Amino acid sequence: MHQPPILRVARHTDMHAIWQIDVDVFGEDTYPGFFFRQAMDLWPELLLVAELDGRLLGYALGGLGQNRSQGWLLSLAVLPEARGFGLAERMMLKVEQALTDLRVEHVRLTVDPANPAQRLYFRLGYQKLAEERDYFGPDEARLLLEKRLG
């Protein structure tokens, strides 16, 4: 990549491309397409995309918890050919800034204990709160991480 992708808030016309990135990155473990549309309605400033030359290369989705001082990074995906350029980090920091602007004090995320992306999360200041063996169902372990914002 000669120039860095631009990060911007997602638009309705991005919905299919976001869902396709989700499928390409996560395979069977994807959100249904309508979820992204509903997330956009709930938290429009928290669904970001990375675009280069009119093509989406990744997305990041934040959300707000029941307690509005707590936010979530619900999903982050970068296409394989766009990895290694700091795109995930840029998108995470932008979601964190959007959450900070909404007066969120803490952001949480979950990650598979085998996912190498957790190195990025720890480097950005996330700390392990818990490890749950059956978070999404039997043998679907996740680390629960949290970062204080601001």
pLDDT tens digits, one per residue of 69-107 = 899 999 999 999 999 889 999 999 999 999 999 999 999
CB atoms within 10 A of CB 95: 27
Lowest model confidence (mean pLDDT) among 28-42, 71-85, 117-131: 28-42
Taking 80 as the threshold, does the pLDDT of residue 1 lie above it?
Answer: no
Please check whether residue 95 is in contact with residue 62, taking contact to mean a CB–CB distance below 8 angstroms: yes
pTM: 0.93
Show the beta-strand stretches assigned E in 1-150.
Answer: 6-9, 47-52, 55-64, 70-78, 106-111, 127-132, 142-148
Strand 70-78 with 106-111, pairing: parallel
